[in-house]
């Protein structure tokens, strides 16, 4: 069975709130417009999640809201600045055939690289800028069977690609 992961870094956040904890930083204006753009792209391509795994940070929650994709959502504190192994463990608990995971860099870039057999041909894949979204396919019966280096990139986009 083919499983699909939609791996998205949160949209651009606002650094202009002195004293605000990193976890609580909201999106800035660009981020607030990039999230819907990425949601429209996902819908146009037919990449729709059956389940969402999202960091509990304000900026990831706002990114998810901006995507306007309806799916059962699990807000996981462990995904806030998670390392790739923690992200893998979270994904291996998923049950939907198509899962959207919304998280943070630098780990999301490392996670994306570790999951794929071959990186997509995109100049921004390695640095995974804000709102970057990878769609990867895996031939596994369930997410618990997922292993490193087995994914095939179906698509990768950043907001600048969609302007």
- 17 confidence band (pLDDT: 50, 70, 90): confident
Does position 19 have pLDDT exceeding 90, yes or no?
no
Query: Encoding tokens for residue 126?
Result: 């390695």
Residue percentage of the chain with pLDDT more than 90: 94
Does position 55 have pLDDT exceeding 90, yes or no?
yes
Query: Encoding tokens for residue 128?
Result: 């995974």
Mean pLDDT along residues 141-161: 97
Mean pLDDT along residues 11-23: 91
Whole-number pLDDT of residue 18: 82
Whole-number pLDDT of residue 156: 98
Whole-number pLDDT of residue 163: 83
Whole-number pLDDT of residue 116: 98
Query: Encoding tokens for residue 39?
Result: 């949601």
Q: Could you report the per-residue pLDDT of 101-146, keeping only the tens digit for each? A: 999 999 999 999 999 999 999 999 999 999 999 999 999 999 999 9
Contact (CB, 8 A) for 12 and 130 = yes
Does position 26 have pLDDT exceeding 90, yes or no?
yes
Domains annotated on the chain, with CATH: 2-162 (3.40.50.1240)
Q: Which residues of 40-55 are buried (b: 16+ CB within 10 A; e: fewer)?
A: ebbeeeebebebbbbb
Contact (CB, 8 A) for 36 and 67 = yes
DSSP assignment of 120-142: -S-TTTTT--TT-EEEEEEE-SS
How high is the mean pLDDT of the chain? Answer: 97
């Amino acid at each position: 069975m083919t499983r699909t992961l939609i791996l998205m870094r949160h949209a651009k956040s606002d650094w202009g709130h002195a004293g605000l904890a990193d976890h609580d930083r909201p999106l800035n204006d660009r981020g607030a417009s990039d999230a819907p753009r990425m949601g429209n792209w996902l819908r146009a391509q037919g990449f729709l999640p059956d389940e969402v795994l999202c960091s509990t940070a304000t900026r990831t929650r706002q990114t998810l809201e901006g995507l306007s994709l309806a799916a059962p959502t699990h807000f996981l504190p462990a995904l806030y600045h998670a390392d790739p192994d923690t992200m893998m463990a979270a994904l291996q608990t998923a049950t939907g055939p198509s899962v959207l995971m919304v998280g943070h860099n630098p780990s999301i870039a490392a996670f994306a690289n570790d999951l794929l057999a071959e990186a997509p041909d995109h100049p921004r894949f390695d640095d995974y800028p804000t709102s970057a979204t990878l769609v990867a396919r895996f031939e596994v019966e369930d997410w618990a069977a997922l292993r490193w280096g087995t994914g095939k990139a179906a698509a990768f986009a950043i907001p600048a690609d969609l302007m």
